[in-house]
Amino acid sequence: AQKVTQAQTEISVVEKEDVTLDCVYETRDTTYYLFWYKQPPSGELVFLIRRNSFDEQNEISGRYSWNFQKSTSSFNFTITASQVVDSAVYFCALSEYGGATNKLIFGTGTLLAVQP
C-alpha cells in the first residue's frame, strides 16, 4: 500500500530563517511521482513541484529546493529565507505511474507559520 508521512504537524519560524519540511513515502511501485502542494489560508491547492522516481536530481527554484533520496524514501522541501507569505499548510503527495488513474495519496500536511 502507498503511504506518505509528514511527521512535522506544525513548524514555526521567524522570517528569514531557513526551514525544511520532511516527507517520507512508502510504495511498492518502481515508477511513481512525488509532489508538493501549498495550501494557503484561502484554501486552494497550489502545485509546487512534481518529481518522477527516475529523477533523483535535486531541484532549486528561487527560494525553494527539494531533496529526493530514493535510498531513504524521502522527498524533503526546503524554503530558504522564509517570508510571512510562505505561511500555509504544505502537503507532500504520491501517485503511481501508469495505473488506472493518477490519484494522489497525500500526507497529513505540515502547517508552517512564519512570524515577522
Can you give the binding site for other proteins, defined by CB under 8 A? Answer: 37, 43-45, 47, 50, 52, 91, 95, 97-109
To other proteins, the closest distance from the beta carbon of 96 in angstroms equals 9
Q: Of 2 and 73, which CB lies nearer to other proteins in the complex structure?
A: 2
Which amino acid belongs to residue 11? I
Query: Residue 81, Cα to own-chain centre: how many angstroms?
Result: 17
Q: Of 15 and 99, which CB lies nearer to other proteins in the complex structure?
A: 99
Q: Of 4 and 19, which CB lies nearer to other proteins in the complex structure?
A: 4
Angle at 52 between CA 49 and CA 54, to 5 degrees: 140
Radius of gyration, CA atoms only, the chain: 14
Number of H helices, E strands in the chain: 0, 12
Phi, psi of 76 (to 5 degrees): -90, 155
To other proteins, the closest distance from the beta carbon of 44 in angstroms equals 5
To other proteins, the closest distance from the beta carbon of 83 in angstroms equals 23
